[in-house]
Structure formats: C-alpha cells, structure tokens
Amino acid sequence: MKIVLLGAPGSGKGTLAKKISRDFGVPQISTGDLFRAIVKEDSPLANKVKEIMASGGLVPDEVTIELVKERLQKEDCKRGYILDGFPRTVNQAKALEKFSKIDTVILVELASEIIIERLSSRRTCPNCNEIYSLEDNKEEICKKCNTHLIQRDDDKPETIKHRLEVYENNTAPLINFYGERLFKVSSAGSPEETYQPVKTFLEKLEA
Ligand code: AMP
C-alpha cells in the first residue's frame, strides 16, 4: 500500500505513520528524518540543508525529489510505503505522480493554536526519532532506546510560526491538488482516536 500523509507540521503525521507502519507492514519514509540524517554529515549539501531546516524553510524541490525517488527504490519499499512530509509542494506532488502510483492521501487536520501548543512541548529522540510530548515524558528519556530527548531547533517558537506560514503558502495548495482523493481525519483527540478511522479506512482499501 502506498500512502501519502498530508498535514501541517505538528499535526501528528509522524505518530500516525508509525502506527500504520506497525500494523500494515510498510515503512515510514519521513523526508524530515532523511534530512536530519544528512545534516549529521560534513558536506556542502549537509551545510545547506542545515541552514534551511533551522530557518523552517523548504529544501529545494530538485534535491528533495531526487532523495525520495532514490529511497523508494530500496528493497523495503517493494510492498509499499507511507510518505510522511512529502510532497510538500505542488511541484513535488507532480514529480511523485511520475515515479509512484499512490493508493491514498490522508489529510491530518488540526487547528493552528493546538499545533503551536503541541510543537512547543514536542521532544524527539535524536537516536531513533521517536516523538514524545513533554507532558507524557517529564524525564525526557526515550522509552525505546534510553537516549536523552532533545527539542528540535525548528520546534522553537520563533521557527514554528514560519513553518506554519510555509505550510499555508506551499503545502496547503496540495489539498486542492488531491481534491476528491483525500481521506480527512482530525487529530484533535488522542493518537489512538486519530488512528482508528484511518485503520478502518485502510483495512477496507486493502480488502
Ligand atoms: P519535518 O520533520 O517533516 O517537519 O521536516 C523538517 C524540515 O525538513 C522541514 O521544515 C524542511 O526544512 C525539511 N523538509 C522535510 N520534508 C521536506 C520536503 N518534502 N520538501 C522540502 N523540505 C522538506
């Protein structure tokens, strides 16, 4: 099954992707995670991407499209994948149509006031990329691999506002682009409440 997850930063795409991946046996391909791995290297590309990510902007389409295209050719993507954070521009969506036949696009919806609250208290494991809320993990230690959690630079208040503007200007037009192909879900409730309608929908799609 080939799935695109669409939604603003902090809407819960990553958490939802992990649940789908666990139950439907397809990998989560997060472009944000791929870029965070790249910036750990010491290369001209790494430095450029680091600067863009820190500002909350988007990495150029050519770089992003090439990265995803290559990643989807790997063995683990043969049975399908969940694209988390790609496409983020209409250009990327058009390119994706050329190299992948997506089965469904899930739009995760959440009011921006809640997004700002959630992103401000989000903590991430720099080792395994697991996501936590500070309220549920006051010790700030990853429950999976025991690593000290961090607050991503781009989850700091000044950058969050810019990321939401970038979403409105560049990514929200994809809602029209996909139109009738969208399955919409609200993530205002708990992660499990968000997942249930998606699970039911995907089970029907798979049948
Ligand atoms: P995320 O973890 O999905 O919020 O992504 C973190 C950052 O990585 C974004 O703010 C962008 O700078 C970059 N990024 C991730 N996905 C894309 C994409 N599809 N196109 C351009 N930049 C991206």
179 within a domain of the structure (yes/no): yes
Q: Known catalytic residues?
A: 13, 88, 122, 152, 163
Contacts of 99 (CB under 8 A, 6+ apart): 69, 72
- For residue 21, the enclosing domain spans 2-110+158-206
Return the SS3 of 86.
Answer: coil
Model confidence band, residue 157 (pLDDT cutoffs 50, 70, 90): confident
- State the CB neighbour count (10 A cutoff) for residue 134: 13
Q: What was the pLDDT predicted at 27?
A: 98
Return the SS3 of 138.
Answer: coil
Residue having the nearest C-alpha atom to atom 14 of ligand 1? 32
Q: What was the pLDDT predicted at 80?
A: 97
45 within a domain of the structure (yes/no): yes
Rg (CA), the chain: 16
91 within a domain of the structure (yes/no): yes
55 within a domain of the structure (yes/no): yes
180 within a domain of the structure (yes/no): yes
Q: What was the pLDDT predicted at 170?
A: 98
Tokens of 86: 């790609």
Q: Is the pLDDT of residue 79 over 90?
A: yes
pLDDT in tens, 2-58: 999 999 999 999 999 999 999 999 999 999 999 999 998 889 999 999 999 989 999
61: amino acid identity, one letter: D
Return the SS3 of 43.
Answer: coil
149 within a domain of the structure (yes/no): no
CA of 58 to the centre of ligand 1 (A): 6
Ligand 1: list residues with CB < 6 Å: 9, 31-32, 35, 52-53, 56-59, 64, 85-86, 88, 92, 154, 163
> Which atom, in ligand 1's list, is nearest to the CA of 88?
19
Between CA 182 and CA 120 the distance in angstroms is 28
152 within a domain of the structure (yes/no): no
| Strand 131-133, strand 122-124: pairing | antiparallel
63 within a domain of the structure (yes/no): yes
Write out the E strands in 27-121.
Answer: 28-30, 81-84, 104-109
Angle between helices 61-71 and 90-99 (to 10 degrees): 30
Q: How many domains does the chain have?
A: 1
pLDDT in tens, 49-77: 999 998 999 999 999 999 999 999 999 99
Q: Which of 51, 59, 91 to mutate to test the pocket of ligand 1 (most atoms within 8 A of CB)?
A: 59
Q: What was the pLDDT predicted at 21?
A: 97
Residue having the nearest C-alpha atom to atom 12 of ligand 1? 53
pTM: 0.92
Q: Is the pLDDT of residue 153 over 90?
A: no
pLDDT in tens, 86-135: 999 999 999 999 999 999 999 999 999 999 999 999 999 999 989 999 98
CATH number for the domain spanning 63: value is 3.40.50.300
